Amino acid sequence: MDRLVNTVRPYAWGSMTAIPELLGIAPSGEPQAEMWMGAHPGAPSRTERGSLNELIDADPVRELGQRSVDKFGPRLPFLLKVLAAGAPLSLQVHPDLAQARAGHAAEEAAGVPVDAPHRTYKDANHKPELICALTPFDGLCGFRAPVEAADLIAALGVDSLKPYVDLLHAHPEEAALREVLTALLTADPDEMAHTVAEATAAADRLGGAHAPYASLAHHYPSDPGVIAAMLLNRVRLQPGEALYLGAGVPHAYLDGLGVEIMANSDNVLRCGLTPKHIDVPELLRVVRFEPVDPTVLRPEASPAGEEVYDTPIDEFRLSRFVRAEGAAPTDLTGPTPQILLAVAGRPTAGEVALAPGESVFVPAGERAELSGTGTVFRATVVA
């Protein structure tokens, strides 16, 4: 197996301290948002044999196994991350596979450069994802019932928001949500800035359930995403709990440290809380305008001590091992590629001792035994 050297991305919303504390190093003085583990071309992990994407390109069957190559092609199907949100991420949604393929093909045919600010589809893949909390973790996920959103917005007492409140009481619910989000994203910017300022003052005064949205507004003043965020469910995860995000579900991470795994894609359509491009027509085509009750996932333990987070897709499978002192070694040898990430203690993968934040890549079929004490996340595929 290969010890990984991973890149930390310094996005502006990242925490200054969370990832350094996990790694046991001094903060760098800049935000440290995501540590990437995998073979994504944007920041592939490095090994003593070369970068992980180069190793896979040279011999995909040896590194990934025949099953994975047959099902997903000659690339690692997932990207594993440690995500540290010190400020809210953009309100966003991801396409399904058919939408990603069609959108990518259309932009390629139109000659839109892949690094253009207005480019929507960076690749032809979908991006389902799972976030598992390492600390208390705060986020927004899926539309709340429109009448609940109406009550939350109405309590602000802002006259210019009353038309949105009225729309949210209309039926069917899906049409009401679509109309309100469309109106927010296409409103006159100056008028919306004034509305958001009034809403922020009211949310500051009210506190309680309105406090998160006041915080959003202080990070993104005048952004219509502040009001759009009130349409979504607030979700708070405790360590070990997780949230699965499928295609079309609007979401945003607000604060906390977690392990994130996703299909290997960069496709993001933004809805707000960002200075970046928002493709409103495409966004409205991709978003699923249906109220949902977000399901908080808790791992299901197996007799072997593996705790699995159950998700409905095959590109990734995330589990963890919480190993106590004196526990017998666990054989993790399997026919698919794996990344093992330590987050606590001093476990050993094969002959590689792992400190918190360290990881290894295990090629398909290579013997892998987990021993020692600590907590280890295991990322692989279902093939």
Q: In the predicted model, is pLDDT for residue 192 greater than 90?
A: yes
Q: Give 2-26 pLDDT, tens digit per residue.
A: 999 999 999 999 999 999 999 999 9
Res 276: pLDDT: 87
Provide the percentage of residues in the chain whose pLDDT is more than 70: 100
What string of H, E and C letters represents the secondary structure of the chain? CEECECEEECCCCEECCHHHHHHCCCCCCCCECEEEECCCCCCCCEECCEEHHHHHHHCHHHHHCHHHHHHHCCCCCEEEEEEEECCCCCEEECCCHHHHHHHHHHHHHCCCCCCCCCCCCCCCCCCCEEEEECCCEEEEEEECCHHHHHHHHHCCCCHHHHHHHHHHCCCCHHHHHHHHHHHHHHCCHHHHHHHHHHHHHHHHHHCHHHHHHHHHHHHCCCCCHHHHHHHEEEEEECCCCEEEECCCCCEEEEEEEEEEEEECCCCCEEEECCCCCCCHHHHHHHCCCCECCCCEECCEECCCCCEEECCCCCCCEEEEEEECCCCCCEECCCCCCEEEEEEEECCEECCEECCCCCEEEECCCCCCEEECCEEEEEEECCC
Catalytic site residue from 75, 101, 205, 270: 270
CA distance 157 to 165: 11
Res 53: pLDDT: 95
178 is known as an active-site residue: no
Q: In the predicted model, is pLDDT for residue 42 greater than 90?
A: no
Task: Please state the rounded mean pLDDT for residues 292-296.
Answer: 94
Q: In the predicted model, is pLDDT for residue 301 greater than 90?
A: no
CB 222 within 8 A of CB 192: yes
Res 383: pLDDT: 87
Q: In the predicted model, is pLDDT for residue 304 greater than 90?
A: no
Q: Give 316-358 pLDDT, tens digit per residue.
A: 999 999 999 999 999 999 999 999 999 999 999 999 999 999 9
Q: Give 240-257 pLDDT, tens digit per residue.
A: 999 999 999 999 999 999
Residues 6+ apart with CB under 8 A from 121: 95, 100, 103, 104, 106, 107, 267
**For all residues of the chain together, what is the average pLDDT?**
95
Res 260: pLDDT: 98
Kindly state the tokens that stand for 158.
């802002």
Residues 6+ apart with CB under 8 A from 160: 191, 194, 195, 198
Task: Please state the rounded mean pLDDT for residues 137-154.
Answer: 97
Prediction pTM value? 0.94
Q: Give 56-81 pLDDT, tens digit per residue.
A: 999 999 999 999 999 999 999 999 99
Res 266: pLDDT: 85
Confidence label for 41 from pLDDT (cuts 50, 70 and 90)? confident
Provide the percentage of residues in the chain whose pLDDT is more than 90: 94
Res 64: pLDDT: 98
